[in-house]
Every structure is written in structure tokens, then in C-alpha cells.
Structure 1
Amino acid sequence: MDIDTVYENVGQPETFGQKHRQTETKAKHCRGSRCLVLITASLGIICVLLLVFIVLLNISITAERDLIKSYKNTVEELNQTINVLQDNNAALLQRKGWFFMSTEAMNWSDSRQYCRDRGADLIIINTEEKQKFISSFTADSVWIGLSDSEKEGTMKWVDNSPLKRGFWIEGEPNNLGGDEDCVALYPWDPLSSWNDLSCSSTEKCICEK
């Protein structure tokens, strides 16, 4: 074996080792690249999930805010409706005249004075149509302008006109205790709602101009 062959054989292991190290380096580089891709993809997925969560959270908050706003609007509308109904109950205009109800309970005489102080008098109900109309918005028992205080058993209206037709509760008037001379209307059957009471009892009243 000549010297050149020896040197050639001696150089071969070094060349193989270098190639092996290069292969390992490439493999490590590839594994590192794959890890980097996986990490990047994972971070991307996490970001997407966070974005979806934030969007859903905003939608939920917005829906809840809208619901609360809707409740507030509903409450305000109900309050406005109540105020309107109260105003209408305090002063109602009808083709026959102008009616209004007191807000506090008083005896019959004070109720009549209450109406007079406002240019009116206790209401006179002399037709079935008017009786039904007054009953339709009356939620409490109220004084009307009818009494027999001048002569027991002879009912007269505040304008001194005699009673022609009554809309009494069954069994009334009964002058219970011998001291029931004034008449109140109760929110019951529209055509059977009058009751005689002591004039000192306290009720709200309906006035008529």
C-alpha cells in the first residue's frame, strides 16, 4: 500500500463524522422550526379564542344593558300612564258636563262645600246613561248630590229636584240606625250601586259643573 492510499483512507472517517454532525444539526434545526410553528399556531388559536370570548362578552353586556334600558322605559311609560289616568280621574270632560273627583275623603257637607268652592256642586245622576258613565271610572265609594236630610224618606238632589229613579244596592236605602240621610255611589254593579249612609261618614266625592 503506497503512502497516498494511506492518507486517503485516513481522511475518510473525518469526512463521515462531519456529514453526521451536519445531519444532526439539520435535524435539530427542523425540530426547532416545527416547535416554533406549533407555538405560533397555538398562540394564534388562543388569540382567536380570546377574541371570540371578548365579542361574546360584549354582546352579553350590550344585551343586558338594552334589557335594563327597556325595563326603565317600561316603568317610565307605566308611570306616565298612571299620571294620565289620575289626571283624567281628577277632571273628566263629557258632553253633559265637567266632572271631577276629590282626592281626600270628607263628610257629605264638607264634600258639597269642596265642590262649591270650585264652582261646582255634588253630582246629580238622573239617567241610566249618566249612571253607567260615572260608574265606569269610579274606583272608590263617593258622595253624590242626593239626600233626605230635610225630610226622611223624601230624597232630593242638591238642586232641590226630586229623585225620579234610583240605582240602589238591594235592600237600600234602609236608614240603618235612623241616621242615614246622605247617598254614596259604590264601584259595584253600575245599575245597583247606591247606598244611604250617615252624612258624617267620610267618603270621596264627585263634583259636577
Structure 2
Amino acid sequence: MDSEDIYENAGRRDIKNTTGAQTQSHGRDEAKDLKHRGSRCLVLISVGLGLICVLLLVFIILLNITITAERDMIKSYKNTVEEFNQTINSLQHNHTDLTQKNLELETKVKDLTAEKNQLQRDFDSLNKKNLVLETRVNDLTAEKSQLQRDFDSLNQKGPVCFFMSTELKSWSDSRQYCRDRGADLVIINTEEKQKFISSLVSEKVWIGLSDRETEGVMKWVDNSTLKQGFWLKGEPNNANNEDCIEMNFNRGKPGWSPLNSWNDLPCSEKKKGICEK
């Protein structure tokens, strides 16, 4: 073997040795690299699992918070609904009370309206009565003035005295009562005197007129014949042998007035008499 072959073989062995060494080194590096990559995968997996756990924990916490909030909200809704129901019941109760009070007020208004209408009618009636009374007062005032004038006129003709008997007597006894005192039963021959005498009496009294001598022929106690009479409606009627005349004082009797107050009666009736002196 020549030297070139030796060198060539030696070179081949060196190359072979070098290649083997490099191969071994490269294997070790790959193993390390694989181990390194495995560790990194484990770390990443662990981190991922940890993040998943954290996320799950956060999700559970949030879910719990949400459930609690929803539970509180539902409870709040229930309370609100109950309050609304109570409010509605209270409003319905108040509405019922108000409706009842409204009906009572309407009834009271109707009663007050009816009472007001009745009062108005009473007021109108009182006004009418007041007008009637005012008219009556005016009439009485005028009558009083006329009587005063009549009285003054009678006084001008001479002093006249009128007085009433104090006892109830027949017509004849009443006339005698007057004559015992220098007078006689009154003679009434004018409207003025009739009104005046009517104003003096407040009861039924005998006057000096009768038809005892001749039925239907009325004469005064001085034997003068009646010229003007002041009879009640339907009188004289001689219903029961009525020959003597009274002045009837009855302001409430239909048809009565100071100029319509005479009535014929039996002469035996007991009455007071009005005397003229």
C-alpha cells in the first residue's frame, strides 16, 4: 500500500469519525430541543388550563351574581306587584266610598233643592199674605180716618154718647136698660154711623130696630121707618119668628163687612145692647 492510499484511508476515517461525532451531537441537540419543546407545551397547556379555570370561575361568579340579581329583581317585582295590588284595592275601596258619598250628596242636594223650593213657595205665599195684610192695614187706616171724620161730624151735630149694657138681656130688657139711663137702643141711619158703631163693638149686640108691631115693616125705637139697611147676605129671613135686629160682629164670616153685619133674631135671645144718649 502506497502512501497515498494510507493518507486517503486516514482521511476517510477522519471524515467518518467527524461525521459520526456530528451525528451524535446533532441527536443530542434534537433531544434537547424536543425536551425543551415538550416543556413549553406543558407550560402552555397549564397556562391554558389555568385561564380556562379562571374564566370558568369568573363565569360562575358572574352567573351567581346574575342569578342573585334576577332573584332580587323578581322579589322586587313581586313586592311592586303586591304594592300595586294593594294600591288598586285601596283605590277601588276609595272609589266605592266616594261613589257612596256621591250618592249621599246627590240625595242631600235633591232634599235641599226640594226644601229650597218649598221655602220659596212659603216665601211667595208669605209675600202674598203680606200684600193682603198691607192692603188690609191700608183699608183699616182709611176706615179709621173715615170713622174719625164721622165721629167729628156726629160731634158737630151735637154731643152723642154711646155705651154698652153690661148684662145679657132680651131685646126689650136691653132697651129698658138704656132707657133707665136716659138713653135708648142705638139708631143707625147712615153709613158713617154704621161704620162707627161697628168699630166700637167686638161681639153681637142689639140695636134699636125691629118689626115686632108689623111683620116685614122695620122701625127704629123712635118709630121712624128703616130707609137703609146693612144686612148680612140672606138677611133678614124671619126664619124662626125673628123680629129683633142684632149687629153681628164676625169678621171671619163670609160676606161680613162693617156695612153688612145685621141679622134678625127672636127678641127673647139674650145679648148685650148698645145704647145711644
| TM-score after normalising by structure 2 | 0.41
Give the alignment of 1:34-183 within 5 angstroms. Answer: 95=155, 97-177=160-240, 179-183=241-245
The one of 240, 248, 251 aligned to 1:186: 248
1:37 matched to which residue of 2?
none
Bigger share in helix: 2
Aligned-pair CA distance for 1:176: 0.6
**Distance in 2 between residues matched to 1:170 and 1:103, nearest whole Å:** 29
Aligned-pair CA distance for 1:151: 0.2
Report the residue type matching 2:244 in the other structure. C
**Distance in 2 between residues matched to 1:110 and 1:152, nearest whole Å:** 21
Show CA shifts across 1:85-110 (max 9, x none): xxxxxxx9961511000121100000
Aligned length: 117
SS of the residue 1:130 aligns to: helix
Show CA shifts across 1:52-78 (max 9, x none): xxxxxxxxxxxxxxxxxxxxxxxxxxx
2:266 matched to which residue of 1?
198
Aligned-pair CA distance for 1:184: 0.2
SS of the residue 2:261 aligns to: strand
| TM-score after normalising by structure 1 | 0.54
SS of the residue 1:176 aligns to: coil
**Distance in 2 between residues matched to 1:198 and 1:187, nearest whole Å:** 17
- The higher relative CO (CA closer than 8 Å, separation ≥ 6) is in 1
1:208 matched to which residue of 2?
276
Report the residue type matching 1:180 in the other structure. E
Report the residue type matching 2:223 in the other structure. N
**Distance in 2 between residues matched to 1:186 and 1:135, nearest whole Å:** 9
- The runs of 4+ residues in structure 1 deviating greater than 2 Å are none
Bigger share in strand: 1
Report the residue type matching 1:175 in the other structure. N
Show CA shifts across 1:6-61 (max 9, x none): xxxxxxxxxxxxxxxxxxxxxxxxxxxxxxxxxxxxxxxxxxxxxxxxxxxxxxxx
SS of the residue 2:228 aligns to: coil
Aligned-pair RMSD on alpha carbons?
Answer: 1.6
SS of the residue 1:195 aligns to: strand
SS of the residue 1:131 aligns to: helix
**Distance in 2 between residues matched to 1:109 and 1:187, nearest whole Å:** 21
**Distance in 1 between residues matched to 2:229 and 2:185, nearest whole Å:** 16
Gaps of 5+ in 1: 1-91
Aligned-pair CA distance for 1:192: 0.5
Report the residue type matching 1:115 in the other structure. C
Report the residue type matching 1:119 in the other structure. G
**Distance in 1 between residues matched to 2:190 and 2:166, nearest whole Å:** 26
